[in-house]
Amino acid sequence: MQNFHMGSHTLKSHGVKVANVHKYDWIILLLLAAIDLTLNLIEPFHRFISEEMMTDVSYPFHPDTIPMWAVPIYAIILPTAIFFAFYWKRKNVYDLHHAILGLFYSVLITLVITDAIKDAVGRPRPNFFWRCFPDGIGVYEPNNGNVMCTGDKNVIKEGYKSFPSGHSSVSFAGLGFLSWYLAGKIKVFDRRGHSAKLCIVLFPLLGAALVATSRVDDYWHHWQDVLSGSLIGIVIASVCYLQSFPYPNQEEGWAPHIYFQMMVVERNDASSRRLNPFNAQRSDVETADDSHST
């Protein structure tokens, strides 16, 4: 079945049809983006922080190694480019559409979960002291001893968003989805013993792990933040991938479920035409008459 009508489902021939069938999925995707934007605008919970508690959050505050603008490049744009590379080879619009849709859902669901928890928990980052007091002079309320920050409000706001790590969760959501995708495409579990394929599949996960590690090295996150964010990302990526694709170790693990369903429908239609050539010709004539009448 793998080679049946291979290359006959292109963006030009089936793209509009596939997008129209899944239009509500794309609408919900936009809703998720709006929800995450709202979560980033609201003020996070300001946890009580006394002078004694500053010991664990007084690490240096400097620019992060991997800025936020770089995250969409390796977590979204890079996987999408690889999806298009496989589409260029096989001309399978079902595979391309479901890969992109699944990737976007993986990243956006992860973002909503991560940012919602960030706002609710309000854990201070390891560099919170220097965010709160850029001049190095701590000021605390005389009644309860809580911090009275004197720094920039936006910098302080981000200082309360340590748990979980967004860089870590989004990295594993995007690159984790890519690892699942590559495992199916190159048939890493075909039992032929090509262990080199594992390197290809594990490389995106290594990249995500290095991004997560950099967040601890830069003192933007505690190790618990990074571990939790990574787990959120990889779990969501796995769920979103398996929503549309078979397990990579299955015989048909190289393409989405919908592709094989369409192959069965088209094969049955072709068989029906061969068994009933008169009805097939009659249907063609009626279709031509309808087009002329319009």
Q: What is the pLDDT along the chain (294 residues), one digit of tens a residue?
A: 444 444 567 766 666 787 888 899 999 999 999 999 999 999 999 999 999 999 999 999 999 999 999 999 999 999 999 999 999 988 888 899 999 999 999 999 999 999 999 999 999 999 999 999 999 999 999 999 999 999 999 999 999 999 999 999 999 999 999 999 999 999 988 888 788 889 999 999 999 999 999 999 999 999 999 999 999 999 999 999 999 999 998 888 787 888 777 777 666 655 666 666 555 455 444 444 444 444
Helices and strands: H and E segment counts in the chain: 12, 0
Q: Which of 9, 167, 222, 257 is catalytic?
A: 167
pLDDT at position 292: 44
The tally of domains found in the chain comes to 1
Q: Which domain holds residue 202?
A: 11-45+64-125+160-255
Residue 152 lies in a domain: no
- Paired with 9 in beta bridges are 92
User: Distance between CA atoms of 129 and 160, rounded to whole angstroms?
Assistant: 11
User: By the 8 A CB rule, do 186 and 204 touch?
Assistant: no
User: By the 8 A CB rule, do 119 and 44 touch?
Assistant: yes
| N-terminal to C-terminal alpha carbon distance within the chain | 38
Residue 87 lies in a domain: yes
What contacts 2, CB < 8 A, 6 or more positions away?
252, 254
Residue 293 lies in a domain: no
State yes or no: is 222 an active-site residue: no
Residue 58 lies in a domain: no
Residue 134 lies in a domain: no
Which parts of 55-196 are beta strand (E)?
none
pLDDT at position 37: 97
User: Distance between CA atoms of 146 and 30, rounded to whole angstroms?
Assistant: 39
DSSP code of residue 44: P
Q: Which of 9, 14, 97, 221 is catalytic?
A: 221
Residue 260 lies in a domain: no
- Give, to the nearest 10 degrees, the angle between helix 93-121 and helix 257-275: 150
pLDDT at position 17: 80
Residue 140 lies in a domain: no
Residue 71 lies in a domain: yes
pLDDT at position 257: 80
State yes or no: is 22 an active-site residue: no
